[in-house]
A and B are shown apart, each in its own frame.
Chain A
């Protein structure tokens, strides 16, 4: 496989909306990707992730900045001369060609000899598990099969960079999990550099070597799945990666590998450092990192209890807003909706996070 690096340098994209106002879809972002790395652009819709991907493919031209594939600036190069291949959200299969012709399209554009095209098409169809489908029209295939054809069509040209634009969002849940595993397997098998766009954090967490979390055209955090999930740089990242409660605290002292914080009159020793420096901090507490106790510092009132079988979710109104607590059985029958309770944190698994969005 080709050893390909991809560098995104100070890329911006400014669109004009229908009123003629300027909209910064992508706002001066920079990151780079090592050979064979699988990078996910993650973020809510409108965060600029798809625009970034389309700029890498060449469908959009950046307003500013450089895109370097193997240290060559490709900004002025049209899509058909770039060595990228994309797997589209809606597959983008050619409806008037059969599966074989679909997969062979890119190879024909590269004017390869017929025998080689044939060899490579059947080889890639074997890899994606669709041997012998050459003569079927794409419309006769299931969604998952179509997606694999789209993947095969992109992979067969052996592109420098493989691009995915929310490829699984049109599939049902079961198929999505299956395809996720498939994509990971195939990407590792061919060892290709890949950029993957999604708004689904589970996809991002399971697939990526590196996650680029974006919001409003800017990068919020870059890091491994563990980095982003466990060491969020701010409240937005923490919240985006899963349900979390924020409790404002005062940082008393930062030691070598632990932080002393004060919540009301109580002091806690948190066994990790703040995820980033800031003037003020909050405690990021996942629902499993809070519990209802008789002597907790936070006063609240149970609003709703949602029974989930192997656990229950307690929604408690407190001075810090609504807090969600995951409670494992056995359930205390005395804790019913409308009851006043006290809430405490489980200091071993909470994080000190800068109090900023």
Chain B
């Protein structure tokens, strides 16, 4: 116990010393600032005093003054004179002025609800002082600054006390710091912006009001957008789930040729930039598209609901595919074999065994694609045409109409379906009641489809895969075509121009993604470690907060960041930091989940053994945890990088002249019908992503650990 008392005494002693030092620093800074501003005021006072009193009101309208001449004359501001006489150094000031000295009062004067410095200035005539002018200079800004210094001082002191208390009294300060920092990050960059966004939708000029919501919920165009989002989501989810299931079924349950090719094509859209497939769809099926116009001369074009469903499906069916692949792989083929043994026909086996077992998986992929589809911004922006969806409407409100409050309300409205679908999906996955997991997926394949059906299925799958190949080839071809839709002659000028004009954006994007990548990766692993291995109060809450951005549409994050970080205390809009923070916060959930899943498979006694041998938590983390969860770490790194390189929905609100994003450059080029340039940038982006991806995979391959694919 004496030890503890000794610690407390030491703690208090250090706190007192630090307080004294900080107080000294604060006082010095404060004095310096107030001296500077007094000097400024004196400077101004000299020039005021040099002006003919009759012209004062005209030249310095913001300055109140009071003049008393020694011959008894006074000017009209008698009201001020009463106030001034209350100053303790009034007499002293007068005297100074009489001796040709400018004097500034130690205290401020309150006048018309504002604080002022009083400056005593001599009035000369023929080198003789004939009176004293007292000028009132605005002290509000100076006082505000001094208050801010005090607040900063208090905050620094409070932070020091907290940090020092943890360091002194916690057995494991590093872990405690990590927990507190994670909480601080979650509160600052998840809760605070959302709170600010919600607050804005209820406030107009400082008063509480339902006006914004009334408008948003009654105006037909907004409701139409909402309905469109849901419709688009439902259609895309349905089509994608069917296609994803077909792909997964063909890969796991049949023996067709070219499976590798099929599964490659079903993975590729996951990592390709958002505008790339859209772009090639426009090139092929746009109003001036190669197929619709040049080859078939149709009236139909890709813009609108039908085109959106096609482009979203191409981009999102991989989500359904990967989900269904996992589900079908874990359903033991012997179950199907057994029921076939019992005399069931192939179709019956599929209907009574395979399908019911796969149902939770189907539902979960439907909900996942649904969430992704209605949160999608890139496709509707480019292909929507007259078909407005909520994410684009919110964007246009903010950027076009400059109505942040309505934009915030609309994107909050978007949160309703995404969150519902997301948590429903979670619920289904966590129940896991149906899927029979037998441990290892059995390598043997039971053919449960007849040769005819198999042929049909493989044709469908091949057609879609080849269609994707065609889309990607179109982008590459677009790089070398002079003027798509008009002049198809070969040129290299696109490449030169695109690289010249896109160089900065490309560099910005890559730099920001490269900065976010390691931070998000390490942070995700640290957080996963805290979640799996540490007990602390508020853990459930923190888990909820960290995973929350998963279900928040990028549009809402973008808008709420603009609202929250465009004003004190944190002014970040326009900086690179806010873009990086946005990447980290948005991609953290995936990394954390991966880390948690991997960590749960690691025997805790391995870490305890390391601690026991003298390794502190940070050493345990770097020498034991990180090497062991390397697969999760690497996939978190590559996931963050890909997502940062291909971000649109949130980043569109956060870019600035200094920090631009390549996807927006692609969008701008294609909006201006410079498809060649857009194609070049898309291709370059794809190449960068594939290169980094390949490099990171090499890292994992080097070790003996299992490789993991990234799953959205």
Contact = CB atoms under 8 A, between A and B. Distances in A.
Given A76-B171, A109-B619, A92 B605 contact: yes
A48 B703 CA distance: 40
A30 interface: no
Given A73-B3, A96-B628, A157 B171 contact: no
B606 interface: yes
B9 to A, nearest CB: 16
A105 B610 contact: yes
B568 interface: no
Contact of A109 (B4, B605, B614, B617): B614
Contact of A78 (B171, B603, B703): B171
B609 A86 contact: yes
A94 B603 contact: no
A110 B284 CA distance: 67
B227 interface: no
A95 B606 contact: yes
B624 interface: yes
B608 A80 contact: no
Nearest to A85: B612
Contacts of A64: none
B428 to A, nearest CB: 24
Interface string B596-634: 000000010110111111111101000110011000000
Give the interface size bracket for B toward A.
20 to 34
B613 A109 contact: yes
A266 to B, nearest CB: 56
B101 interface: no
A77 interface: yes
A88 B614 contact: no
B172 interface: yes
A94 B608 CA distance: 11
Contact of B615 (A77, A84, A109): A109
Nearest to B170: A78
Give the interface size bracket for A toward B.
20 to 34
Nearest to B628: A96
A60 B326 CA distance: 39
B608 A79 contact: yes
Interface string B394-435: 000000000000000000000000000000000000000000
Interface in A70-118: 73, 76-81, 84-86, 88-96, 105-106, 109-110
Interface string B147-179: 000000000000000000000000110000000
Nearest to B608: A59
Contacts of A49: none
B171 A94 contact: no
Contacts of A95: 606, 628
A61 interface: yes
A77 B3 CA distance: 12
Nearest to A54: B608
A209 to B, nearest CB: 23
B3 A93 contact: no
Contacts of B617: 80
Contacts of A84: 612
Interface in A126-183: 150, 153-154, 157
Given A80-B615, A92-B603, A96-B628, 12 more contacts: A57-B608, A79-B608, A85-B613, A86-B609, A93-B609, A96-B627, A105-B613, A105-B615, A150-B609, A153-B609, A154-B612, A154-B613
Q: Report the 10 A-B pairs with minimum CB-CB distance, sorted nearest first.
A: A106-B613, A92-B609, A109-B614, A92-B605, A88-B605, A79-B611, A78-B171, A96-B627, A80-B616, A92-B606
14 contacts: A59-B611, A79-B611, A88-B608, A89-B605, A90-B605, A92-B608, A94-B609, A95-B628, A106-B614, A109-B614, A109-B619, A110-B614, A154-B612, A157-B613
